[in-house]
Chains A and B, each alone.
Chain A
Amino acid sequence: MKRSGKRVIPGFGLSMGVTLTMVSLIVVIPLASLVVFTAKLSPKDIWETITRERVLASFQVSFLTAFIASLINAVMGVILAWVLVRYDFPLKRLLDGLIELPFAMPTAVAGIALTSLTSDKGLIGKFFSRFGIKIAYTRIGITVALVFIGIPFVVRAVQPVLEKLDPSYEEAAGSMGASRARIFRSVILPEILPAAMTGFGLAFGRCLGEYGSVVFIAGNKPFETEITPLIIMSELQEYDYASASAISLVILAAAFLILFFVNLIQSRNSKILGR
């Protein structure tokens, strides 16, 4: 826009008015009520709530399972994106469409389906129980549910970068005698790493707060398979809003920290790509 300062296009007041009203009603006021409510709590109470042993154990479960699940998705996401961008094969469109399934499928449905699959009687659970591995009602089960939830994030972050990546660099490296592993490590990986990390961060953030798909498969044993969102939920059911808010603050802080890093990576990445 060259004529900054003066607005040529009409409708600024109206569109801003509607936007701000709706944002205030849906986002700002509810968030403010959380701020107001937690401001009334004493720091000592908050600290005591979030350092209860059961709560600390839930942080461990939530962060560990979310981290491992996102790591698995980072690796699988890069492989899937690579396969979808670089290769042609039958059923490719179907595979591409299915990636989005975790976004479209209600989390509760995914939760009960995965639970029934991985319990001792389920198809996958039966197979693994022969080796003495239990999936449903353990931390492995939680991780499985979180992998399901996180699949689209890394694929959809890496895919556009791979599509833009000029294969001539790889060809040049190849003609200079670089091995395929070397090409991947020093030509392709540096290009897609920021995108993969962005996807990892988004998936990690989503997994930390995930509730619907996890509650069924987790078994919800205190200290072992109880995730933090579930603890918040039980505090809410007991009308203990102070504890629920205090524990939420930790999850919120983690989520914003992750978002901050994702934005940092993204802004650096977009500078490199010149977008």
Chain B
Amino acid sequence: MKKSDSGIAKYLLIGISFLFIILMLILPLITVITEAFRNGWEAYKEAVSDEYTVKATLLTLEATFFAVLFNTIFGLFAAWAVTKFRFRGKKILTTLIDIPVTLSPIIAGLIFVLTFGRQSAIYPYLKQWDIDIVFAVPGIVLATIFVTFPFISRELIPVLETQGTDEEEAAALMGEKWFGIFRKVTFPHIKWAFLYGIVLCTARAMGEFGAVSVLSGHLRGKTNTLPLHVEILFNEFKYVPAFAVSSILVLIAIVILVIRSIIEYIGKRNGEDVR
């Protein structure tokens, strides 16, 4: 853009950027892969197909699935409510929606322990119905939903805000029902932002560590997600298996980054401002 830029400053800055990214981001990525294969392919395969790894993968998929499902439903309704209507307390509502991402994951875990744990007022009722939340799978799912709560709505809200309400009002005056308006008028505007939100939500949900760690109780084969399994292996000095399990997560992370770039690219080309 700027032709006047002297070569030295430009190449110095580009050099610094690459050095920083290589040291901070690429080296850790490479480390995961090289450490995972340190003892060869057989050891890698063994670590990845280990019974506990498979169980942890299934639990991670389960928690991620529920988090994405819940937050998709929430994101669509919340974005519609916040951008298509005027009401009092909108600012409070949007602040509440954003709270989960600003909270430390450990505190996120803490508030769920306080809500459903032994000292909670509803604990006796939960016991009566034989519902375990803390140190059980429902707690892990809840924690995952919590930390990714605004991920979809906050991608949709800015897009819908710039789109305005004129088209929806016109459709409403022509007698269209809310679902018809949503499907035919609103959704085409947000489809890329929506996909983008789902991708981000998935990435964060499968990687969540702190909040899930508080609520899990670390029961191997029962309440261990992939990131928790990595922790256990690493703390037992089983480095190769720890990195082998990590490589699964890294692979998913890279796939997600690629999908993210593609969505952003297509979205921009279609004139929808994703991000």
Q: Does A180 count as interface, using CB distance less than 8 angstroms?
A: yes
Alpha-carbon distance A129/B3, docked complex (angstroms):
43
Q: Choose among B86, B228, B234 the residue that contacts A4 (Cβ–Cβ < 8 A).
A: B86
Alpha-carbon distance A241/B116, docked complex (angstroms):
13
**Chain B stretch 95-129: residues in CB contact (< 8 A) with chain A:** 96-97, 99-100, 102-107, 109-115, 117-120
User: Contact: A112 with B261, CB < 8 Å?
Assistant: no
Alpha-carbon distance A112/B226, docked complex (angstroms):
14
User: Contact: B257 with A109, CB < 8 Å?
Assistant: no
Q: Choose among A37, A80, A101, A208 the residue that contacts B17 (Cβ–Cβ < 8 A).
A: A80
Among B17, B18, B25, B260, residue most surrounded by chain A Cβ atoms (within 10 Å): B17
Alpha-carbon distance A148/B29, docked complex (angstroms):
12
Interface membership of chain A positions 76-95, coded 1 if the CB is closer than 8 angstroms to chain B and 0 otherwise: 10011011101101000101
User: Contact: B25 with A109, CB < 8 Å?
Assistant: no
User: Contact: B178 with A14, CB < 8 Å?
Assistant: yes
**Chain A stretch 30-45: residues in CB contact (< 8 A) with chain B:** 30-31, 33-34, 37
Alpha-carbon distance A34/B6, docked complex (angstroms):
57
The count of chain A contact residues (Cβ–Cβ below 8 Å) is 89
In chain A, what residue has the closest Cβ to B261? A97
User: Contact: A151 with B25, CB < 8 Å?
Assistant: yes
User: Contact: B257 with A101, CB < 8 Å?
Assistant: yes
Interface membership of chain B positions 14-32, coded 1 if the CB is closer than 8 angstroms to chain A and 0 otherwise: 1011101101111111011
Alpha-carbon distance A114/B30, docked complex (angstroms):
11
Min distance, Cβ B148 to any Cβ of chain A, angstroms: 10
Interface membership of chain A positions 130-173, coded 1 if the CB is closer than 8 angstroms to chain B and 0 otherwise: 00000000000000100110010000000000000001001100
Min distance, Cβ A89 to any Cβ of chain B, angstroms: 5
Contacts known (A82-B13, A95-B17, A109-B227); A211 close to B106, Cβ less than 8 A:
yes
27 A-B contact pairs sorted by A residue (CB < 8 Å): A7-B85, A8-B168, A8-B169, A15-B80, A20-B93, A26-B74, A26-B100, A27-B99, A37-B114, A76-B16, A79-B17, A82-B13, A86-B5, A87-B10, A95-B17, A102-B25, A103-B204, A105-B207, A109-B32, A109-B250, A148-B25, A170-B2, A208-B104, A209-B103, A212-B105, A232-B110, A248-B110
